[in-house]
A and B are shown apart, each in its own frame.
Chain A
Amino acid sequence: MRHFLTKLFDIKRGEEEKALLMFLNIFLIIASLLIVKPVRTSLFLNNIGIAELPYAFILVAISAAIVTHLYTRWMRVVRLYNLILYTTIFSIIALFIFRLFLINGHHASLFYYIFYIWVALFAAIQTSQFWLMANYVFNAREAKRLFGFVGAGAISGGIFGGYLTKFLAPVIGTANMLFFCIAFLMICILILVRIWRQYAGRTYAERIEREKRIEKRQLSDNVFRIILNSRHLLYLSGIIGVGVIVANMVDYQYSSIASQIIHDEDRLTAFLGFWLSNLSIASLIVQLLLTGRILKLFGVTASLFFLPVSILVGAVSILVMPALWSAVLVKVSDGGFKQSINKAGLELLALPIPSKIKNRSKAFIDVFVDSLATGVGGILLVLFTRYVGFSVRYISIMIIVFIGVWLVLIKRIRTEYVNSFRLALEKGSIDLEKQTVNLDDASVINTLVHVFEGKNERQILYALKLLENARHDQLSPYFHRLLETGSAHIQIQVIRMLKKYSDTTFVPQIRSLVESSEFDVKVESMLYLSRHSENHGDVIKSYFRSEDVNMRIAALAAAAHLYPDDRDQIDIKAMFDRFLEDLPDYDLPQDEFNSIKANLARVIGISGDELLLPFLKNLLNDTTPDVVKAAALNAGRSGSQEFIPLLIDKLGQSDVRRFVSEALACYGENVIPHLERALENETENYQIRAALPRVLALIRSQKSVDVLINNLEQKDLLLRHQIIKSLNALKGKYKGLKFNHQDVRSHIYEETRYYYQILATLHHHSYSGGAMISTDSGLIERKKSRNLLIKSLEQKLEINLERIFRLLGLRYPQKDMFNAYLGIVSKKSDLKANAIEFLDNVLDARIKRVVIPIVEGGSPEQVMRKTFGLLGNEITSRNSGISYLLRGNDNWLKVCAMYDIALNMEGEYSRIVKGLVNDPDPMVRETAQFYLNKIEG
């Protein structure tokens, strides 16, 4: 029975208690309301009269405004738990007092007004508080499944309360019915204590704490402003308000048509009573059987369309044919969905709103907006029926107009709902605090001065970079100081900046820096001095004539800088040859000689003189990594195609790879066909192939994207992973590149299919305990081999999931998918639930069908069922899982599986393993042999 109920309502293991407690809590609250409301109405009608009822409505709206104002202020200082507790205790006391007054008999009219207003506010606040608490008891995913069940508690509580009043009020007296309410509310306090301690308290504290940490902005004191600042809340208020107005009009149409057609008072009462009970039952059926499923299938916002669309059908029917059946149709539409699907959908909409905002605004919306809309609905009805002369039939026009507004609001809130989840995910992972710097701002300049006066090199360099493209004469004194005391990096940066300054007071200082031991300081100083002299070439040539080899190579490098624009004055080839000619005379130590060679490579690259390129080829084949790095970078800078094959070969060398990659990227689109060929060549050195995607990621070109996408089918998973990462890098860095959605989607399917196969293998492997029961001496080894396989499978799932999200990042906004991924792998269940709900709303239906079941987790059978078998069922046992691994493309899993079956002496895989003894991977070969030796003795 328990299994049947949990399955029917989709309650998962571990959720039973909280779901039942929440069901019971709302059951008792609504039962109390359904007892107290008829008492209130009958007392008011008997003692004050129906003519005064509109005034009671207006007073309720005014009181709601005052109470919500005080209530929201109170919420700022009181924890939610205390708020609910104090409100419930206050309600119990109030009920006692009303009961005392009631048994005394004769009262002033004021008493009945107070009682009427109090009941209205009690109903709104108590239910609002319950749903607010539900936000902390359930995370987004649980709420989507369980709000249907919990909502059924409200409807059945209504039915129960109604019947209890109907049967017991004549027996024990109307006033004594209040004792039931008191008893129910007392039980609610016990439930509250349990729920808060077990489920809501920690989540509430965590969320408030997290929001406090992230949200530094002070929240406005004014709840109106909070709502106006949030489109999400604004639309939510609008939907609730319009819903209440339409409900009033529907009620008016239904009652009017019924009373026009049925004249006999008893028959009319019987008719209204009959439909009232039927509606409650219909609502309960919808709630129990459909709400959860509809929410899951169509999502939160789509479920909100059910109520207005069905009312629209009823309203059109009345407009066309104002008969009793059409009146019943409109009422059934309203009653059937309002307290079921629509109520659950509305409560779910509040889930992604930050707790601090939600706590302050929810009661306002539930109490004030609801009361205000009731008042507005009443005024509109009076206006249009009495003064404009609308008949009951034409009220439908007003309903249709309001439903139009309602539908627009629902459509708009969908975007806000998804955005709120997006924001919640972002805040759960990264601090988005951004800084902007305005260099014209005096305070910014003061800050820069403060940095220049300090000793933090990183900060000084950052500040200098900020100023690189601008002139700030008032900073000149600081540049003098930095040239004198700063590090080589700072000196270089200052000299580069000074190019823009005509101020010649820097010349003597920079002239002395030519003597610096740092090569780049020398070069930059020479360049500065040459630019501040009449004949650029002469300054450089004078330094080149020096005896000091370091001065000469620096002068050569400075000449190379000037050469492209000053070919008349500088003969770089002649200077280069001269230097090479003189070099043997210096008898340099090896380190210094290598440094000279690296600088010669720079000279060739900077000058771009084709006559020097053959020498660069020699340097590329040098044995010293520093020389190769410089040669590679400058080969790329030269743009000469002849270096490409050599550079691709150099990618295999880890110590120079980064520089070679940059060099290849310098070729731009021209290098892509070469890279593509090497990537597709399976006989190419693996280290080279693995480095190629990173090179492609450095080239901003659609061709890079196309080559990488075409190679996504690589069997090697590490290579595939690298390709996907490179695609992510391209998408992240450059705008305007196109990633073929269809291709990406098919690869997402591929990856999810692989995920499922590994999950199924892991599942069957984890639950096959046969070999572990024995206690022989090899048990520890077997346990270790089994754990290694399990751990490896788990790690493969993690990597596979990352690949799935990286691919999703190519199809959807990358930042969103990254944040969703962080939410999914987070240990915080609410973050995970937010991430799943977010994905559920943004992924297209086809991708959602395979991705959501995987991220939701569960056994392979559950995943397969949820994906409607789309992921296949190849792995049905441990044996088929092992065979899958042995035949698969993942060598590491192959090795782990072989080791495990070898220690467990499982000989049935011999035929497959024999085929692996000549595998190209040495580890696979070795383990295959190990297995065969074990099995064959």
Chain B
Amino acid sequence: MLTRIEKVIFLQDIDIFESTMTEDLAYIAAITGEVQYTQGETIFKEGDLPDAMYMVVDGDVKLSRDDDELMNAGPKDVFGTWALFDDEPRVVTAVALKNSRLLKIDRLEFIELLADHAQITQGILKSMARRLRNLMSRVRL
């Protein structure tokens, strides 16, 4: 089992949390659970309602749409991030390619956490604004 501070170190690498204070990441770490999936097990399916985001600690996860493999998520890779903010159904299917250990942030717990810690929302908004700015400069808007 990872300690809370070890989870913080993982969370630091997620781009939407890049502007979040390390101390606030500890609150997110508190609601971050550790889950195990065996080889071939489905984590979520295309069209499922979004309920959590995941981060691979050990193992390998295949992300596919209409049976087309889109990518393989290995250690430190994150998937399903937008589930935290968006109500739209899942657009990909995630299946464990081998026995995998993942970190999971539950959407409802996350939203509740934001209500108590406005500064986390502020950090996330900063990261998103930065992303948007980068995107705009790339397309020269």
Q: Do A and B share a complex?
A: yes
Interface set of A (CB-CB < 8 Å, partner B): 654-655, 657, 687, 784-785, 788, 791-792, 795, 799, 892, 895-896, 899, 922-923, 926-927, 930
Most chain B Cβ neighbours within 10 Å, of A785, A892, A926: A892
Q: Which 3 A-B pairs have the closest CB atoms?
A: A654-B115, A892-B23, A792-B22
| Smallest CB separation, B123 vs chain A (Å) | 11
Is A784 within 8 A of B23, CB to CB? Answer: no
Considering the chains assembled together, what is the distance between the CA atoms of A687 and B113 in angstroms? 12
Q: Number of residues in B with C-beta < 8 Å to the partner?
A: 14
Q: Say yes or no: is B66 at the interface (Cβ < 8 Å to chain A).
A: no
Interface set of B (CB-CB < 8 Å, partner A): 3-5, 8-9, 12, 21-23, 26, 30, 112, 115-116
A–B pairs, 9, beta carbons within 8 Å: A788-B22, A795-B22, A795-B23, A892-B22, A895-B26, A896-B22, A923-B4, A923-B30, A930-B5
Q: Which residues of B contact A655 (CB under 8 A)?
A: 112, 115
Q: Is the interface of B mostly helix, strand, loop or mixed?
A: helix
| Smallest CB separation, B8 vs chain A (Å) | 7
Most chain A Cβ neighbours within 10 Å, of B9, B22, B26, B30: B22
Considering the chains assembled together, what is the distance between the CA atoms of A788 and B4 in angstroms? 13
Q: Which residues of B contact A927 (CB under 8 A)?
A: 3-5
Is A785 within 8 A of B112, CB to CB? Answer: no
Q: Which residues of A contact B23 (CB under 8 A)?
A: 792, 795, 892
A892-B23, A896-B22 are contacts. A923–B5 as well, Cβ < 8 Å?
Answer: yes
Considering the chains assembled together, what is the distance between the CA atoms of A687 and B22 in angstroms? 20
A687-B116, A784-B9, A899-B5 are contacts. A923–B22 as well, Cβ < 8 Å?
Answer: no
What would 16 more interface pairs be, CB under 8 Å, given A788-B22, A799-B21? A655-B115, A784-B9, A785-B9, A788-B5, A788-B9, A788-B12, A791-B22, A792-B23, A795-B23, A892-B23, A896-B22, A922-B4, A923-B30, A927-B3, A927-B4, A930-B5
Is B9 within 8 A of A795, CB to CB? Answer: no
Is B5 within 8 A of A896, CB to CB? Answer: yes
Q: Which residues of B contact A899 (CB under 8 A)?
A: 3, 5
Is B26 within 8 A of A923, CB to CB? Answer: yes
Cβ-Cβ contact count across A and B, 8 Å cutoff = 43
Residue in chain A with minimal CB distance to B8: A788
| Smallest CB separation, A513 vs chain B (Å) | 33
Q: Which residues of A contact B5 (CB under 8 A)?
A: 788, 895-896, 899, 923, 927, 930
Is A926 within 8 A of B115, CB to CB? Answer: no
Is A892 within 8 A of B3, CB to CB? Answer: no
Is A795 within 8 A of B26, CB to CB? Answer: no
Q: Which residues of A contact B3 (CB under 8 A)?
A: 899, 926-927, 930
Q: Which residues of B contact A926 (CB under 8 A)?
A: 3-4
Q: Which residues of A contact B30 (CB under 8 A)?
A: 923
Q: Which residues of B contact A795 (CB under 8 A)?
A: 21-23
| Smallest CB separation, B10 vs chain A (Å) | 10
Residue in chain B with minimal CB distance to A791: B22
Residue in chain B with minimal CB distance to A794: B22
Considering the chains assembled together, what is the distance between the CA atoms of A115 and B46 in angstroms? 90
Considering the chains assembled together, what is the distance between the CA atoms of A895 and B4 in angstroms? 10
Residue in chain A with minimal CB distance to B5: A899
Q: Which residues of A contact B112 (CB under 8 A)?
A: 654-655
| Smallest CB separation, A902 vs chain B (Å) | 10
| Smallest CB separation, B124 vs chain A (Å) | 16
Q: Which residues of B contact A895 (CB under 8 A)?
A: 4-5, 26
Most chain A Cβ neighbours within 10 Å, of B9, B21, B23, B26: B23
| Smallest CB separation, A647 vs chain B (Å) | 18
Q: Which residues of A contact B116 (CB under 8 A)?
A: 654, 687
Q: Which residues of A contact B115 (CB under 8 A)?
A: 654-655, 657
| Smallest CB separation, A10 vs chain B (Å) | 36
| Smallest CB separation, B107 vs chain A (Å) | 16
Considering the chains assembled together, what is the distance between the CA atoms of A654 and B108 in angstroms? 13
Residue in chain B with minimal CB distance to A895: B5
Considering the chains assembled together, what is the distance between the CA atoms of A923 and B21 in angstroms? 17
Considering the chains assembled together, what is the distance between the CA atoms of A88 and B3 in angstroms? 70
| Smallest CB separation, A517 vs chain B (Å) | 25
Considering the chains assembled together, what is the distance between the CA atoms of A499 and B8 in angstroms? 58
Q: Which residues of B contact A687 (CB under 8 A)?
A: 116
Considering the chains assembled together, what is the distance between the CA atoms of A922 and B30 in angstroms? 10
| Smallest CB separation, B4 vs chain A (Å) | 5
Considering the chains assembled together, what is the distance between the CA atoms of A657 and B8 in angstroms? 28
Considering the chains assembled together, what is the distance between the CA atoms of A847 and B21 in angstroms? 29
Which of B9, B12, B26 contacts A892, CB < 8 Å? B26
| Smallest CB separation, A931 vs chain B (Å) | 10
Q: Which residues of B contact A923 (CB under 8 A)?
A: 4-5, 26, 30
Residue in chain B with minimal CB distance to A930: B3
| Smallest CB separation, A841 vs chain B (Å) | 33
Residue in chain B with minimal CB distance to A690: B116
Considering the chains assembled together, what is the distance between the CA atoms of A892 and B22 in angstroms? 9
Q: Which residues of A contact B9 (CB under 8 A)?
A: 784-785, 788
Considering the chains assembled together, what is the distance between the CA atoms of A899 and B30 in angstroms? 17
| Smallest CB separation, A131 vs chain B (Å) | 40
Considering the chains assembled together, what is the distance between the CA atoms of A687 and B27 in angstroms? 13
Considering the chains assembled together, what is the distance between the CA atoms of A687 and B116 in angstroms? 8
Most chain A Cβ neighbours within 10 Å, of B5, B8, B26, B116: B5
Considering the chains assembled together, what is the distance between the CA atoms of A523 and B105 in angstroms? 44
| Smallest CB separation, B34 vs chain A (Å) | 14
| Smallest CB separation, B22 vs chain A (Å) | 5
Considering the chains assembled together, what is the distance between the CA atoms of A90 and B59 in angstroms? 76
Considering the chains assembled together, what is the distance between the CA atoms of A923 and B4 in angstroms? 7
| Smallest CB separation, B114 vs chain A (Å) | 9
| Smallest CB separation, A340 vs chain B (Å) | 49
Residue in chain B with minimal CB distance to A793: B22
Residue in chain B with minimal CB distance to A785: B9
| Smallest CB separation, A901 vs chain B (Å) | 12
Considering the chains assembled together, what is the distance between the CA atoms of A657 and B112 in angstroms? 12
Considering the chains assembled together, what is the distance between the CA atoms of A712 and B107 in angstroms? 36
Q: Which residues of B contact A784 (CB under 8 A)?
A: 9
Q: Which residues of B contact A792 (CB under 8 A)?
A: 22-23
Q: Which residues of A contact B12 (CB under 8 A)?
A: 788
| Smallest CB separation, B21 vs chain A (Å) | 5
Residue in chain B with minimal CB distance to A652: B116
Considering the chains assembled together, what is the distance between the CA atoms of A374 and B72 in angstroms? 84
| Smallest CB separation, B2 vs chain A (Å) | 10
Q: Which residues of B contact A896 (CB under 8 A)?
A: 5, 22
Considering the chains assembled together, what is the distance between the CA atoms of A654 and B112 in angstroms? 8
| Smallest CB separation, B20 vs chain A (Å) | 10
Q: Which residues of A contact B4 (CB under 8 A)?
A: 895, 922-923, 926-927
Considering the chains assembled together, what is the distance between the CA atoms of A720 and B115 in angstroms? 20
Considering the chains assembled together, what is the distance between the CA atoms of A119 and B112 in angstroms? 77
Q: Which residues of B contact A922 (CB under 8 A)?
A: 4
Considering the chains assembled together, what is the distance between the CA atoms of A131 and B115 in angstroms? 55
Q: Which residues of B contact A930 (CB under 8 A)?
A: 3, 5
Considering the chains assembled together, what is the distance between the CA atoms of A896 and B3 in angstroms? 12
| Smallest CB separation, B24 vs chain A (Å) | 9
Residue in chain A with minimal CB distance to B20: A795
Considering the chains assembled together, what is the distance between the CA atoms of A105 and B115 in angstroms? 91
Considering the chains assembled together, what is the distance between the CA atoms of A655 and B3 in angstroms? 29
| Smallest CB separation, B17 vs chain A (Å) | 12
Considering the chains assembled together, what is the distance between the CA atoms of A892 and B30 in angstroms? 13
Considering the chains assembled together, what is the distance between the CA atoms of A379 and B5 in angstroms? 81
Residue in chain A with minimal CB distance to B9: A784
| Smallest CB separation, B7 vs chain A (Å) | 10
Q: Which residues of B contact A791 (CB under 8 A)?
A: 22
| Smallest CB separation, B31 vs chain A (Å) | 13
| Smallest CB separation, B36 vs chain A (Å) | 21
| Smallest CB separation, A658 vs chain B (Å) | 9
| Smallest CB separation, B90 vs chain A (Å) | 27
Considering the chains assembled together, what is the distance between the CA atoms of A657 and B118 in angstroms? 13
Considering the chains assembled together, what is the distance between the CA atoms of A43 and B12 in angstroms? 78
| Smallest CB separation, A803 vs chain B (Å) | 14
Considering the chains assembled together, what is the distance between the CA atoms of A8 and B26 in angstroms? 48
Considering the chains assembled together, what is the distance between the CA atoms of A788 and B25 in angstroms? 11
Considering the chains assembled together, what is the distance between the CA atoms of A655 and B114 in angstroms? 11
Q: Which residues of A contact B22 (CB under 8 A)?
A: 788, 791-792, 795, 892, 896
